[in-house]
Structure 1
Amino acid sequence: MAEINTTTFIIAPVLLALVSVTGLMASDYHDILPGRFVCKPLASLAFIWLALLLGAMDSSYGQLLLVGLLLAAAGDIFLMFESNAAFMSGLVAFLCGHVLYALAFLQLPQHASALAISLVPALTLLIGTHFWLRKHLLGPMRFAVPAYIFVIGTMLVLAGGSWGQPGTWLIITGAWGFAISDLFVARRQFVSTDPWNKLLGTPLYFGSQMLLAASVAFYAA
């Protein structure tokens, strides 16, 4: 009976995520500002809610990941506003979120062979992203974005290093999905503002956060 009740409760944040992300994508596509301001915080609430329901407070891994999720939600709020200051604030919030995710992954046993293997795709992403964006970066962004890319790479390597632990597929898939969704944010900010950035990046980002939030269940007491 307890398992049935738990499953029933989990459906609520998942449904909230599906409805709010769909509403957010529609609002962004049609440039409906009130819809964005309603749906984006709700979508962020969904992954925080899911983590709490699944026992985020019951382990050091879950606690650190939860702080990362809260920082990601703060970044989501900042990025609702169309200004350079808001973007920089969002960048800092997401940067700190990635650091917290990396610290969370360090709470799990790290395997040297898995770390070495995960280093290859992470470095490929880092180097490719740097060469892609460097000609588009001006002022402080010439330093802020490479630092952000480095932190993402570290987070990805540590996610890969957890291979073999419970919930590994959620951790690695969520971490890489989050990182790739950042590419769409960067493309929109520095390269092109076409609608595909949000149409592809938004569901990828929120889906990845839900996967990471779900991973805390494997370490709850």
Structure 2
Amino acid sequence: MKRLFLPLLILISSALYIFIIPDAPLLLNLPFKLIPMWLIITYAFIQFRGKGSSTSWIILTGLVFCMFGDGLLHWFLIGLSAFLIGHIFYLIGFFKEWQFSLIRVLSIIPIGFYAIFIGHILTESLIENGNSALFIPVCLYTIIISTMAWSAIMTGNKWAITGSILFVISDSILAWNRFVSDIPYSSVLIMTTYYTAQFFIARSLKFFQKGSNSLY
């Protein structure tokens, strides 16, 4: 039961923020938005109990930067920059756990096609709507998060893989809704996939310690 207490608390706090807490005022909304991430970071730390490998600490640092990105996303470029740094820590940590497999290496093909597809649509929309200043940051972010997803796949760790793919889905919905066209229930879709992604990435640390739980 003790093992389930923190995940259950993460689930409850996430649901509270997504379905109950109003968007405004920001001073009320923001703390409730960050509580699930504080709990997820605590959960990640518990996975290796402070005695983990360098990979564990690198990914934990990524979680912290993503938390800052979450809190600062109201100021879009600042929040995007924090998320970008978080993803760089993730991909460094994941690449340290590289487990070669031809199938995993070839996964870069669909990831690359998706990155080109979503990047093309987003940048085209940015230019059409006069947001050309965001062209380079959005392109860079698309490249980094796609590389992060591929690096997670290269670990063979099913928790890291699922978490990274959910992160890509969450950010794709956010970007499409913000720059291309409205998506029904976008806020619910973005935050449920986002919190789940971060929880799975935090969960992956336990298995990086053991060098087990590969997907293939």
Normalising by structure 2, we get a TM-score of 0.86
Question: Shift in Å at residue 219 of structure 1?
Answer: 3.0
1:47 aligned to 18, 40, 49, which one?
40
Q: Tell me how far apart the structure 1 counterparts of residues 159 and 182 of structure 2 sit (CA, whole Å).
A: 30
Gaps of 5+ in 1: 1-6
Question: Shift in Å at residue 191 of structure 1?
Answer: 2.5
Partner in structure 2 of residue 75 of structure 1: 69
1:122 is aligned to 2:115: no
Q: Which amino acid counterpart does residue 59 of structure 1 have in structure 2?
A: S
Question: Shift in Å at residue 38 of structure 1?
Answer: 3.0
Structure scoring higher RCO (CA < 8 A, sep ≥ 6) equals: 1
Question: Shift in Å at residue 194 of structure 1?
Answer: 5.0
Q: Is the 8 A contact 1:115 1:158 kept in 2?
A: no
What fraction of aligned residue pairs are identical, expressed as a percent?
27
- The 1:96/1:75 distance shift into structure 2, 3 A limit, reads same
Q: Is the 8 A contact 1:118 1:156 kept in 2?
A: no
Q: Is the 8 A contact 1:23 1:35 kept in 2?
A: no
Q: Is the 8 A contact 2:159 2:204 kept in 1?
A: yes
1:17 is aligned to 2:17: no
Q: Tell me how far apart the structure 2 counterparts of residues 56 and 181 of structure 1 sit (CA, whole Å).
A: 29
1:36 is aligned to 2:36: no
Q: Is the 8 A contact 1:156 1:172 kept in 2?
A: yes
Q: Tell me how far apart the structure 2 counterparts of residues 92 and 106 of structure 1 sit (CA, whole Å).
A: 21
Question: Shift in Å at residue 216 of structure 1?
Answer: 0.6
Structure 1 runs (4+) deviating above 6 angstroms are none
User: Which shifted more, 154-163 or 90-99?
Assistant: 154-163
Gaps of 5+ in 2: 211-216
Q: RMSD of aligned C-alpha atoms? A: 1.9
Q: Tell me how far apart the structure 2 counterparts of residues 151 and 67 of structure 1 sit (CA, whole Å).
A: 16
Q: What is the aligned length?
A: 204
- The 1:46/1:139 distance shift into structure 2, 3 A limit, reads same
1:188 aligned to 177, 185, 191, which one?
177
